[in-house]
Amino acid sequence: MKIPLIDLKKQYKTIEEESNRKVLEVLKSANYIMGEHVKTFEKEFADFIGVEHGISCGNGTDALVIALKAMNIGPGDEVITSAFTFFATAESISSVGATPVFVDVEKDTFNMDPLMIEEKITARTKAIMPVHIFGQACKMDEINRIAKKHDLLVIEDACQGVGGEYKGRKIGALGDIACFSFFPTKNLGCAGDGGMIVTDREDLAVITKGLRTHGSGETGRNAYNLMNNIDEENDESDSKDQTVYNPLKYYNYLIGHNSRLDELQAAILREKLPLLDQWNQERRSNAEFYNEELADTRFTTPFENRDVMHVYHMYILQSEEREEAILHLKEKGIATGVYYPIPLHLQKAYTDLGYKEGDLPISEYLSKRTFAIPVYAELEMEEKEYIVRCLKEFDNR
Ligand SMILES: Cc1ncc(COP(=O)(O)O)c(C=O)c1O
């Protein structure tokens, strides 16, 4: 049996007809940039998360960069984040000229350890960037308490957590601003790159909108005015049109980005969003099956904090013999993935920051033990049983 880590073809089959129809409609309309699907999806996604504003953009990394810039974080500033995450988390901080300051993670949830944050705070610290890794929310009450005490902003890296919850509230509604990725393999993925910034803060919504499209047009001007405390009456003759036909397009107010969600991607995402809760429930039930079946093996199964609704972007096992286990599964046709083989503080790109092995022992320990097995919503029972059988076979060698 061949089982990929994620089967996007299988997912596509379940929405093929309607997606094809929507995509063709967009193609025929020739309205490819900032059309109705983008506008409506922003609203639908913000409603889904339970926040006021959704500002779509080109990908999750851009979402983080734009959010950081909107918060005026730049050279000389520090942002505290997790060492056990995808590189883009820290890369976004470096991209705006600020310095990522890495904290270690909890051994059970793999999330940033709130107990390790305060000792990292300096006069230069501007924000905390928790990452809801693998789909499980961080301990946000503790993180927000620390942020409030030290007057810091909270930017959620929610790229792996879409649909997940913390104490009954959705991931993405738990800080000042949050960033999502719609990379195809995410729980809500498009057919290419896509991203979204969400926030309840009107000021951040205005500025991120301005930054998203070259700081130009009405959105650029609104952002500029807000950032410079200019109380200018809007000229009603100006178009609110966000498309290429906007007459203000060539008036630039800020140095921004070209980072928009394509209309085609928005159409596909609108098709998928109503299915997300059901897909996440299927991931959860797959995880439950594995947890039960593997309880008596030497594999360490994932821990779920009782305050959260984990959405299992990845189902992570731990083993002392990871490489051998992965090889065994590979021989049986089962794909796995290692998330993450090198914690960020030890990445070559961050040599200059001066971290050394032993500085963040839990992240380092996990990076040698963790691996993901397939948990996607469309997995069949016989595939899950086969995966468990192969893992038990390895365990009983
Ligand atoms: C935790 C995390 N942060 C940031 C990103 C960046 O998102 P994107 O690939 O859409 O730029 C990703 C996903 O790839 C991610 O998993």
Ligand 1 closest atom vs CA 59: 10
Ligand 1 closest atom vs CA 85: 1
187 CB near ligand 1 (under 6 Å)? no
Span from the CA of 41 to the centroid of ligand 1 (angstroms) = 20
Q: Best substitution site from 59, 162, 181 to test ligand 1's pocket, by max atoms within 8 Å of Cβ?
A: 181
pLDDT at 245 > cutoff 90: no
Q: Which residue blocks in 299-380 are alpha helix, DSSP H?
A: 322-331, 361-367
Residue with tokens 């797959």: 286
CATH 3.40.640.10 residue ranges for the chain: 8-103+110-272
Side chain identity, residue 200: D
pLDDT for res 248: 82
Side chain identity, residue 181: S
Query: What is d(CA 184, CA 106) in angstroms, rounded to the nearest whole number?
Result: 28
User: Chain-wide mean pLDDT for the chain?
Assistant: 96
Q: Rounded to 5 degrees, what are φ and ψ at 379?
A: -60, 135
Span from the CA of 185 to the centroid of ligand 1 (angstroms) = 10
Query: 44 CB contacts (<8 Å, ≥6 apart)?
Result: 54, 270, 273
61 CB near ligand 1 (under 6 Å)? yes
Could you tell me if 171 and 307 are in contact, meaning their C-beta atoms sit under 8 angstroms apart?
A: no
Span from the CA of 209 to the centroid of ligand 1 (angstroms) = 20
pLDDT at 250 > cutoff 60: yes
183 CB near ligand 1 (under 6 Å)? yes
In this prediction, residue 241 has a pLDDT band, given cuts at 50, 70 and 90, of: low
**End-to-end Cα separation, the chain, in angstroms:** 21
Q: Measured between alpha carbons, how far is residue 134 from residues 267, 306, 354, 382 in Å?
A: 26, 16, 27, 24
Could you tell me if 105 and 365 are in contact, meaning their C-beta atoms sit under 8 angstroms apart?
A: no
CATH 3.90.1150.10 residue ranges for the chain: 274-395
Could you tell me if 101 and 125 are in contact, meaning their C-beta atoms sit under 8 angstroms apart?
A: yes
Query: What is d(CA 165, CA 49) in angstroms, rounded to the nearest whole number?
Result: 10
pLDDT tens digits for 263-321?
999 999 999 999 999 999 999 999 999 999 999 999 999 999 999 999 999 999 999 99
In this prediction, residue 240 has a pLDDT band, given cuts at 50, 70 and 90, of: low
pLDDT at 200 > cutoff 60: yes
Residue 252 burial (10 A CB sphere; 0-12, 13-18, 19+): middle
156 CB near ligand 1 (under 6 Å)? no
Closest CA to 54 of 200, 224, 215: 200
CATH level 3 topology of 8-103+110-272: Aspartate Aminotransferase; domain 2 (3.40.640)
Residue 173 CB-half CA count within 13 A: 17
Query: 265 CB contacts (<8 Å, ≥6 apart)?
Result: 182, 190, 191, 192, 193, 194
Q: Which residue spans within 36-159 are E strands per DSSP?
A: 53-57, 78-82, 99-103, 125-129, 153-157
Q: What percent of the chain has pLDDT over 90?
A: 95
What tokens were used for 207? Answer: 């500025």
Span from the CA of 77 to the centroid of ligand 1 (angstroms) = 22
pLDDT for res 229: 94
Q: Best substitution site from 81, 86, 196 to test ligand 1's pocket, by max atoms within 8 Å of Cβ?
A: 86
Query: 161 CB contacts (<8 Å, ≥6 apart)?
Result: 132, 135, 136, 137, 171, 172, 311, 313
Could you tell me if 371 and 316 are in contact, meaning their C-beta atoms sit under 8 angstroms apart?
A: yes
CATH level 3 topology of 274-395: Aspartate Aminotransferase, domain 1 (3.90.1150)
Query: What is d(CA 207, CA 215) in angstroms, rounded to the nearest whole number?
Result: 9
